[in-house]
Structure 1
């Protein structure tokens, strides 16, 4: 998409800033649906805010800003000019909280505005699919205003908003992974039936074994490094209980009755869900304030005792770039991109994600001067996704990014530092259990309700 935009002239793209979503492609990318392009652009807004947050939390950023003459309080000064900017607010975890607060407000606003939009004929659909320049200005304005919020109790209050929102977003990530796994399995099985059966089924078998092998390896490492013979009882319970649950859903997915009722189910999906559950379990254990049960990755790799990921360089510094944070960001990027382009054939997941792929307008195309047919509006009859739910999903994603970049640490206003807390551990673990329950439902629902359509 970026390549397509780069090929267009600046004047042509500028003229599209107040127009519809496909116009942002400037006619360079054929067959671009209104619904898909709009989701991609809003996701780009989210990723842009994430990039800004990452830059502002990088180590040494405050030092670099203080070198700008007349910018930071206490930094380099210009004779006759007083430094007015408190650079402590625009770097570190405080900047992440404010940036993500602005993005959350932006997407929540649009989620409220777009409630019950049924088709592109609704006047609000024009706001959803156009006026990008003004929407960008609104986001910038909210961001600037967020940095003027007094410290007070803002960080503590917003921390709990982040906890709840991230809990829900983890479940949405799992739903998207379930959808991706079902689509992957369906496509490869269809290819096996139509072409080289041995090749495609070998591929399915390989990735299934690979996912289970990675999950089993993770479990062994968890027992070795995140438990102690006479301590870490919670970790032993988390690992063992989640292992049992993953075995149960894997067995259920291949039961003959389940296979008859839901032919799309299989071990490939279960292996992906098992691996993701192990990631969430690991992520939860890395937030345990008991450092005896939570060794840092650095100490595991280089035998250097660093007492976990708690920052020691300066108060309020958060090392988001540990392994757990990086993996979390990678999964977040994948799910955000997939949510923007997804076209699911799984009715259950569509209901859970509030999408209706394939029910939009079929023939709404425009022929360009070059004779190439390009889709412009595929939602004249009905929207292909819930506008409101999509923005609510990005609202939750903003909170998840905030918690991921700050390692789910709780701000301590008395010391201006960040500390691990057990509530973050239980939020993640409970989300893994509820996520497995959702996956189990996708397996047994067709069996319990045989008269309903779940294909």
Structure 2
């Protein structure tokens, strides 16, 4: 487990350094823009050196490991929130792109996706009752988690279909499936000796499958953030950066005419997204990956024999489900509560 944390810390330092270096980069003429997009041989060399250095530090850094684990849990929680934001952004863009086509086949496709998602949600919830509420045992906590997930699924649909809410049932169905998945991963992470964990006989296999799904979700989130950062001028764009094609109010027409004689290097070419936030996503992903591999527990914990198993993991994931639900409902009701704000 120490090796996992060493590699994670090396990755985190690499991306954190770049995030700090890219602060306030607003113009593509800035030399740091070339560092961000190029210099791959030098970047790989720096990354390799940092990883090696993490394995060469003296034993006294065990104390630092403890601090690093606490920071990793905090950073991992932030990355879970980023995953939720990515999911909400993806589902809304998916729904809007199909609605804008304004064709019957796309409307049917939206209906099919919605129906499949809700069938999956309720079917999966039924399986959760079978697996994590065995007869003859008092499993009130597990029942509460599953019932709450079903209540949230109904709440998503009711709020999204409210006439005063500018929502759609398709994103609500996708979020319902994701919340059900989080409920499953939470329950499957219960200790193998817990009587209400019906999958305890296959705890190692369940732990491995949950780990693979978690890592896959992490990779997809990072890749999606990178794609969105590279193709969008709004999602990750710095608030103060000017948009291309926007006239600078400080420049008069005379100054504009005079500026035509300047070289191309002096022309304003604003960046399309925040380089600092881009690297910060990867830094948080490094923390989150380490927590997945160590089961959100201390490296010296006896319960870390099984990856991704333990009550800490259970509560982290169930809280992530509730935060996901809260954020989704907030995106629906916020325009009603604050009509003067622009939430587009």
Q: 2-side partners of 1:381 and 1:391: how far apart?
A: 21
Partner of 1:429: 318
When the two structures are superposed, what TM-score results if normalisation uses the length of structure 2? 0.82
Partner of 2:333: 444
The equivalent position to 2:129 in structure 1, one of 219, 223, 232, is 223
Q: 1:79-90 alignment to 2 at 5 Å? A: none
The answer for unaligned runs of 5 or more in structure 1 is 1-92, 260-264, 300-304, 310-318, 364-376
Q: Secondary structure at the match of 2:84?
A: helix
Q: Secondary structure at the match of 2:124?
A: helix
- The higher-RCO structure (CA 8 Å, 6+ apart) is 2
The equivalent position to 1:116 in structure 2, one of 6, 24, 47, is 24
Aligned residues: 318
Q: Secondary structure at the match of 1:411?
A: coil
Partner of 1:99: 7
Structure 1 residue 279: Cα displacement: 1.5
Contact 2:117 2:174 in 1 (8 A): yes
- The answer to whether structure 1 residue 326 and structure 2 residue 212 are counterparts is yes
Residues 176 and 416 of structure 1: is their aligned pair in 2 closer, same or farther, counting only changes over 3 Å?
closer
Contact 1:107 1:391 in 2 (8 A): yes
Q: Secondary structure at the match of 2:197?
A: coil
Partner of 1:338: 224
Partner of 1:148: 56
Give the alignment's Cα RMSD to 1 decimal: 3.0
Contact 2:72 2:288 in 1 (8 A): yes
Q: Secondary structure at the match of 2:190?
A: coil
Q: 1-side partners of 2:18 and 2:310: how far apart?
A: 32
The equivalent position to 1:190 in structure 2, one of 96, 100, 103, is 100
Q: Secondary structure at the match of 1:118?
A: coil
Partner of 1:136: 44
Deviations along 1:52-108, one digit per CA (max 9) or x if unpaired, are: xxxxxxxxxxxxxxxxxxxxxxxxxxxxxxxxxxxxxxxxx3332221111111111
Q: 1:28-427 alignment to 2 at 5 Å? A: 93-149=1-57, 150=59, 152-153=62-63, 156-191=66-101, 193=102, 197-229=103-135, 230-259=137-166, 265-289=167-191, 290-296=193-199, 305-306=201-202, 308-309=203-204, 322-342=208-228, 350=235, 360-361=243-244, 380-412=268-300, 417=305, 420-427=309-316
Deviations along 1:200-226, one digit per CA (max 9) or x if unpaired, are: 111001111111111112211111111
Question: Which structure has greater helix proportion?
Answer: 2
Residues 330 and 355 of structure 1: is their aligned pair in 2 closer, same or farther, counting only changes over 3 Å?
farther
Partner of 2:250: none
Q: 2-side partners of 1:273 and 1:354: how far apart?
A: 25
Structure 1 residue 429: Cα displacement: 1.5
When the two structures are superposed, what TM-score results if normalisation uses the length of structure 1? 0.63
Q: 1-side partners of 2:75 and 2:146: how far apart?
A: 24
Contact 1:250 1:267 in 2 (8 A): yes
Q: Secondary structure at the match of 2:56?
A: coil
Q: 2-side partners of 1:110 and 1:242: how far apart?
A: 39
Q: 2-side partners of 1:449 and 1:328: how far apart?
A: 35
Structure 1 residue 418: Cα displacement: 5.5
The answer for unaligned runs of 5 or more in structure 2 is 247-264
Partner of 1:86: none
Deviations along 1:6-41, one digit per CA (max 9) or x if unpaired, are: xxxxxxxxxxxxxxxxxxxxxxxxxxxxxxxxxxxx
Residues 271 and 323 of structure 1: is their aligned pair in 2 closer, same or farther, counting only changes over 3 Å?
same
Q: 2-side partners of 1:270 and 1:141: how far apart?
A: 46
Partner of 1:20: none
Residues 410 and 209 of structure 1: is their aligned pair in 2 closer, same or farther, counting only changes over 3 Å?
farther
Q: Secondary structure at the match of 2:317?
A: helix
